[in-house]
Amino acid sequence: MADSNLQRSVTTATARRLATTTKTAPQMGSITPRLLLKLLPWVQVSGGTFRVNRTKVELRKNDRLPIQYVNGVPSFTAKNLKAIPLFSEFDDEILNRLVSSFETKEVDVDKLFVEEGKDKQRFFIVASGQAEVISKGPHGEDLRIALLGDGEYFGEADLLDEQESTVSVRAITPTVFLGLKLKELIKFIKEVPDFRETFNKAVDKQLRLKASVNDNGEKHIDLVSGHEEDNIIPETYIDYEENPTEYSLNTLQTVVRVHTRVSDLYNNPYNQLEEQLRLSIESIKERQEWELINNKQFGLLAAANPAYRISARYGSPTPDDLDELLSLVWKEPAFFVAHPRAIAAFERECTWRGVPPVTTDLFGTKVILWRGVPLIPSDKVEVEGQYLTGRGVGTTKIILVRTGEQNQGVIGLHQSGIPGEIAPSLSARLMGLDKFGVASYLLTKYFSLAALTDDAIAVLENVEVGYYHDYQHRNKVEK
């Protein structure tokens, strides 16, 4: 027999029978830093429900129109059109006839749907895609007036204006527009003689209302300024919303089951019950962060007002896009929240422009800053359209928030002091043993989120995470 086949000593497999291996506590790959939970200020909700009282909004921002597709053709209803203030005074019969006058037009990238100084197209709706409304500046440069996405519209106040358009509308992506045919509009006005008068009255009413409110749609407070002694001091009052928003605490629950034989005999070096509870609590907190972002009732994305949603102009998130977000939440912005791949895409754009962002340490995690505001990574901000591998192309969102009750920002809601509490608003309670000796423990987490004002949250939409700059190709072109 060859020497290589001789056993020269006790094997490691045999030796392990007499030795205790050094081991770790159970590891869980889905655990993340959960910086959102750490950065949100938490407010005690003793009654289980939190009411947000606001001053009355007289003029609300326009919502996006829901676009339906019938056999692949985009359309909308008279009810949708009636949601636009200028059309709210018309009955459904008239609006149905007006809706039927809209035509669908597909426009390729970088092509004009409306040309300034030539076309008379006024009111249009973006059914799908992205388009920018631009106008020539005093030096001949293009100035962007608006960037429109799905369901957004423009020019309704100038519907009956017979002059050439003062703006151009250019498609940034392949875009489908819904616009009124000029001939159909002229025909419609002739058939409905009262339409012009009623519409003009609605425009005048809207202009008067707009002049009486501030940028947030709240009524101006009557004040007097000056040092003259004979000034009459105006009388005023602050009105409140009649139906303020109320937030009930959301509940996350699960039952952890551990056999008493396991918890009695196998607790060295790690307590079996404690580890089961610890890992279950970690999962609850991960789900809590997901709910704070994506919940349809109270999540950050659902709480964002349509007026504070903008689209990434070129797909990839650029410094210009984040600056635009900061112009919306300009009063003490606290932090951005974005998927790690969105942050990586933003860093690539910064590198391309030669303006790499600085980094800072936050709760032991390295994060980047833009204009002094940290970008918080969270994989709970979902990427849509990515491959099963988690890589590849896809779109996501970047959220900017202001926090704090005193700052009229975003706050977390919870109730501490509940029975069986092991952490604020988190309880673990023994439910009992079954006939097999299995113990059941009920874990419960109560929480919610409230945005105190509309300008506390802004969202950058249609953020593409799969674009990379080809530096080698660029260098060849330059040579």
Which tokens in the block code for residue 440?
A: 């059941």
| 3-state DSSP assignment of residue 215 | coil
pLDDT grade, residue 392 (50/70/90)?
Answer: low
CB 423 within 8 A of CB 280: no
List pLDDT tens digits, range 403-421.
999 999 999 999 999 999 9
**What is the rounded CA–CA span in Å between residue 177 and residue 97?**
19
Q: Nearest-CA neighbor of 69 among 153, 154, 128, 131?
A: 128
d(CA 474, CA 478): 6
Q: What is the per-residue pLDDT across 75-106, written as a single tens digit (0 to 9) for each?
A: 898 888 888 888 888 888 888 888 888 889 99
Contacts of 119 (CB under 8 A, 6+ apart): 164, 165
pLDDT of residue 319: 97
Say which residue the tokens 């999540």 belong to.
Answer: 299
Could you write out the three-class secondary structure of 86-140? HHCCCCHHHHHHHHCCEEEEEECCCCEEECCCCCCCCCEEEEECCEEEEEECCCC
Q: What is the mean pLDDT of the chain?
A: 88
Residue 302 is predicted with a pLDDT of: 96
| CA atoms 15, 19, 23, 25: torsion sign | positive
Beta-bridged to residue 370, according to DSSP, are 373
Angle of CA points 66, 131, 138, to nearest 5°: 135
Cα 372 to Cα 72, 262, 362, 367, 368, distances in angstroms: 46, 51, 13, 11, 9
Q: Is the pLDDT of residue 257 over 80?
A: yes
- 35-50+245-464 matches 68-211 in fold: no
Where does 35-50+245-464 sit in CATH, by number? 3.90.1690
What pLDDT does 391 receive? 64
Cβ atoms within 10 Å of 377's Cβ, excluding its own: 24
Region 262-276: mean pLDDT is 88
Residue 205's CB is within 10 A of a number of other CB atoms, namely 14
Query: What pLDDT does residue 119 have?
Result: 72
More confident residue, 381 or 227: 381
Q: Which residue in this structure is represented by tokens 């002059």? A: 163
Distance CA 376, CA 392 (A): 22
Spans of all domains in the chain: 35-50+245-464, 68-211
User: pLDDT by residue (tens digit) across 126-164?
Assistant: 999 999 999 988 888 889 888 999 999 988 877 777 778
Q: According to the model, what pLDDT value does residue 4 have?
A: 54
Instruction: Determine the Cα–Cα distance for residues 454 and 221; give it in Å rounded to an integer.
Output: 20
Q: Is the peptide bond before 357 cis (omega within 30 degrees of 0)?
A: no
Q: How confident is the model at residue 389 (pLDDT cuts 50, 70, 90)?
A: low
CA-nearest of 384, 382, 366, 383 to 374 is 366
In whole angstroms, give the CA distance from residue 274 to residue 292: 27
From CA 67, how far away is CA 75, in angstroms rounded? 6
Provide the 3-class DSSP secondary structure of residue 51. Answer: strand
Q: CATH assignment of 68-211, given 3.20.20.140, 3.30.1490.190, 2.60.120.10, 3.10.20.30?
A: 2.60.120.10
